[in-house]
Amino acid sequence: MRKALMAVVLSSAFVVSAQAKEQTGTIVSIDGGAKTFVCEWKDKSWTYRTTEKTGFRLRGKNGTFSDLKAGVRVNVGYHTDDKGRIADWVNIEKR
């Protein structure tokens, strides 16, 4: 039973990581109430939702949603659902 459960857990982790994506861009707007931010990549803008599980890093240390600022470059790890992009982690770069 334990082996079967472990196989299911590992399989689920692989499926999630297979769907995960990553992009780097510049924040153009932030909605603190909705906990979303918009990033511009080349000629497109994408909205990212954050959750209580989203991790933030600022200059190698733990950060928070409030560290996001318009004009700052970020690297975002995300996955998608039927409502759009969900940020799994956000690495906030120096200005």
> Where residue 46 sits, what CATH number does that domain have?
2.40.50.320
- Per-residue buried b or exposed e for 54-70, using 16+ beta carbons within 10 Å of the residue's own CB: bebbbeeeebeeebbee
Average pLDDT of span 47-67: 96
22: which strand partners? 77
Domain that holds residue 69: 21-92
Is the residue at 76 inside a domain?
yes
Is the residue at 54 inside a domain?
yes
Is the residue at 11 inside a domain?
no
Is the residue at 8 inside a domain?
no
Number of domains composing the chain: 1
Is the residue at 66 inside a domain?
yes
> Could you read off the pLDDT of 68-91 as tens digits, one per residue?
999 999 999 999 999 999 999 999
Q: Cα 16 from chain centroid? A: 13
pTM: 0.77
SS3 category, 32:
coil
Q: 95 or 3: which carries more pLDDT confidence? A: 95
Is the residue at 5 inside a domain?
no
Is the residue at 25 inside a domain?
yes
- Which pLDDT score, from 0 to 100, does residue 78 have? 97
Is the residue at 1 inside a domain?
no
